[in-house]
Homo-oligomer: A and B are copies of this chain.
Amino acid sequence: MDNNLNAFFAALSDPTRRAVIERLTQGPAPVSELHGGHDMALPSFLKHLGKLEAAGLVRSEKTGRVRTVHLEAAPLAAAEHWLHRQHRLWERRLDRLTALAETLEKESDHARFQDPDA
């Protein structure tokens, strides 16, 4: 699960591949359609699809001479989950810091009240 994050994030670090993912949220599509609009030779484009599939973000089946590609939901959810977790831990920590700061501020007020000319 953790090892996959390497391939997941690497796959998403390329704009061509993110565009493919975005397109696929509209539904499955054959390779040639996905390729259309990307200014790039087909074999080069196929390597991108290969990485997406290797990362498990996408799956494909071939029928006749057409290969149809579709999104795979689970990995998106997994990566999202990792990010969310880190984000949450970080925000929680900020909250604790804020709370601490407020505590210190109150104590500081109190001290000033007891010893105004400090």
Interface residues of A (CB under 8 A from B): 2, 5-10, 12-15, 18, 21-22, 24-27, 71, 73, 76-77, 79-80, 82-84, 86-87, 89-91, 93-94
Q: Distance (Å) between the CB of A86 and the closest chain B CB?
A: 6
Which of B15, B79, B93 is within 8 Å of A27, CB to CB? B93
Are B84 and A71 in contact (CB-based, < 8 A)? Answer: no
For this chain, the copies found in one complex come to: 2
Are A71 and B83 in contact (CB-based, < 8 A)? Answer: no
* Beyond known contacts A21-B86, A24-B90: 10 more, CB 8 A cutoff: A10-B10, A25-B86, A25-B89, A25-B90, A25-B93, A26-B89, A73-B94, A79-B83, A80-B84, A80-B87
For residue A28, which residue of chain B has the nearest CB? B93
- Across-interface contacts of A80 in B (CB, < 8 A): 80, 83-84, 87
